[in-house]
Structures are given as structure tokens and as C-alpha cells.
Amino acid sequence: MSLSNTIDVIGDDVAFAGVVERTFSGSFYDDRLSIVRSYAFYHCSQLTALSLPNARAIYECAFRYCERLTSVNLPSLTTIEPSAFDYCVRLTDVNIPEVTALGTGAFQSCSLLTGISLSKVKTVPANAFYSCSSLSQVSLPIATSIMSYAFAYCRSLQEINLPSVTSISSSAFSSCTALSQAILTKATYIGSYAFHKCSALAYVSAPSATTICNYAFYSCSSLSSISLPYATSIGTSAFCYCATLESVYLLRSTMCVGAASMFSYTPMVNSNYLGRYGSIFVPSSLVSAYKSATNWVVLADRITAYVES
């Protein structure tokens, strides 16, 4: 279906909303349309493909519940508002190379979406890709912030490389059960539950991290070692139930403040997990201070001087 060349805005609010089984079906193409307003195609369950070469903005819930929509081609789009493609459960192909602003829950529960490239997005908002259970590839070269639940329950996501991200908010990657590697080159803040129950997570590179919040790596049962050379604080239960964690490196020249139970149910406090206790490596000049410090004193026997190889 294509509209008249005189139309450049669809809406307001419910232009085709609920056109479920009647005349509107198949693909939609229009090269003059610049704005799709809120709820314009809400629950158009027969829409299968979308191509808007000159569209600049998709407003809130515009294509929400378009359950048969499989492909989206929006090469000029810069703005996607909240829940624009929420619950497009068959969406697999998304082309949005110019997008700079992404709304909350924009692609939430797009359960067949396998990859996304957002080369111009700096902030990935809350719930943006929540429960995109087939999502396995993510490219975010300039993103600096990942907000709460942005990728939670993306159960096919195996690796993330976030070269510019400085802040990861609460539960951002919670329950990404296939995630095995996280490269967080510039991240200074790792929020509460950020990697909660990422049971396959075996490798974390966080060379700039200063703040590790409560439950950040809770139940990351495959994580055996982590280096936090600039950490200043570790929150409550941050590594709780990391059952294979045997090496922690805290190499900052000043002490890291540790909360009670930060290593509960790990080899740091219970030798039964590995048949031995784990080790916490710190600068030799701080060994004595760590062994007598609040919340570290109970781990005194596990604290040892780091020696460069």
C-alpha cells in the first residue's frame, strides 16, 4: 500500500489503529511521509513490511502490536519514541542507520529480532530491547549510557562490546543467560543487578570501573576471575552466588570500600564450592590495611599481595 504523494504526516493518534482483518494488509511504502504519529498503526496485525525512505520520526506506540510485521526499512529516521515497535513479535529485519534518539521500550518484546546496529545512539533507554529473546548481535559504537532493563532477558545475547559506555544502570543485562563475555572498556559505574543471573558470564573486562553496585554480578555462576584495577566501592552481595569465583584483583593504590556480604556464597567465604578458598589480590602496600578493614577483616586469610608476572 502507498499513500498519495501529498501526505507527509500520518495521524493524529489512530489513523489506521486496529485495522486488523480488513483492507489494510501486506507491505506499506511511502517516500513522502516524514512523521508517523502516536498509535497511527497500532495493532495493525496484517501489516508485514514497512518502508518509509524519508521518514524522520516515529511517535509513541505507532506500530505497537503489529504482530506480523517482519521488516522495517527507515534509512532517514532519526527519532523513535517510546514503545514504537513494542510487541512486534515477528520483526526480524530492522534498518535504522541514522537514529540518534530511541524511546523507552522502543523494541520491547520483539522476540524474533536477532541483531541491531545503532551507530549514532548515545543513550539506550530503559526497556528498549527488554525480552528480545532472539537478539544475539548488538552494535553500539558511541553509546555512553545503558539504562535500566535495556537488554534484560535477551537470552540469546552471547557477547557485548561497549567501547564508549561509561554507565550501566540497574538490571540492564539481567538474566541474559547466554551472555559469556562483557567488554566494558570505559564503564565507571555498574548498577544494581546489572548482570544479575547472567549464568554463562565467564569473562568481564572492566578496567575503568570504580563503582560496583549491590547485586551487580549476583549469581554469575561461571565467573571465575575479575580484575577491577580502579574500583573504589563494591556493594552488598555484588558477587553473591558467583560459585566459581576464585580470583579478584583490586589494584587501586587506595583501598576499595567493601559492603557486608559482597562475596556471600562464593569460594571467598566457603571452600566447599571449589574445594579451596579463593584469593583477593591487592597492592602489597595495602595488604595489612585490607586485612583489618571493616567487611574485609572476615576475608583476611584470602587477601594476598599482587605480584606482577
- 266 phi/psi in degrees, rounded to 5: -135, 170
Q: pLDDT tier at 270 (50, 70, 90 boundaries)? A: very high
Half-sphere exposure of 202 (CA within 13 A, CB side): 4
- Does the pTM surpass 0.95? The reply is no
Q: Which residues of 167-202 are buried (b: 16+ CB within 10 A; e: fewer)?
A: bbbbbbbbbbeebbebbbeebbbbbbbbbbbbbebb
- Give the per-residue pLDDT at 32: 92
Is 60 exceeded by the pLDDT of residue 21?
Answer: no
25 lies in some domain: no
C-alpha cell of 58?
516515529
Q: pLDDT tier at 3 (50, 70, 90 boundaries)? A: very low
16 lies in some domain: no
Per-residue pLDDT tens for 40-85? 999 998 999 999 999 999 999 999 999 999 999 999 999 999 999 9
Average pLDDT over residues 184-209: 98
Number of domains in the chain: 1
- Alpha-carbon distance values, 190 to 18, 145, 211, 266 (Å): 41, 11, 6, 20
- Give the per-residue pLDDT at 7: 44
List, in sequence order, every residue forming a beta bridge with 168; answer none if it has no partner: 146, 190
Q: pLDDT tier at 24 (50, 70, 90 boundaries)? A: low
**Domain at 255, CATH number:** 3.40.50
- Alpha-carbon distance values, 112 to 124, 131, 133 (Å): 20, 10, 7
199 lies in some domain: no
C-alpha cell of 296?
574485609
Per-residue pLDDT tens for 215-265? 999 999 999 999 999 999 999 999 999 999 999 999 999 999 999 899 999
Instruction: Please provide the average confidence, as pLDDT, over all residues in the chain.
Output: 93
Average pLDDT over residues 90-94: 97
Give the domain extent around 216. Answer: 210-309
CB-based contact 185:207 (threshold 8 Å): yes
157 lies in some domain: no
250 lies in some domain: yes
DSSP string, 107-169: TTT-TT--EEE-TT-SEE-TTTTTT-TT--EEE-SS--EE-TTTTTT-TT--EEE-SS--EE-
- Give the per-residue pLDDT at 308: 80
303 lies in some domain: yes
> In three state form, how does the secondary structure of 210-273 look?
CEECCCCCCCCCCCCEEECCCCCEECCCCCCCCCCCCEEECCCCCCCEECCCCCCCCCCCCCCC
Is 70 exceeded by the pLDDT of residue 304?
Answer: yes
286 lies in some domain: yes
Nearest to 280 by CA among 294, 256, 272: 256
230 lies in some domain: yes
How far apart (Å, rounded) are the C-alpha atoms in residues 56 and 226? 43
DSSP 282: E
Q: pLDDT tier at 275 (50, 70, 90 boundaries)? A: very high
Q: pLDDT tier at 1 (50, 70, 90 boundaries)? A: very low
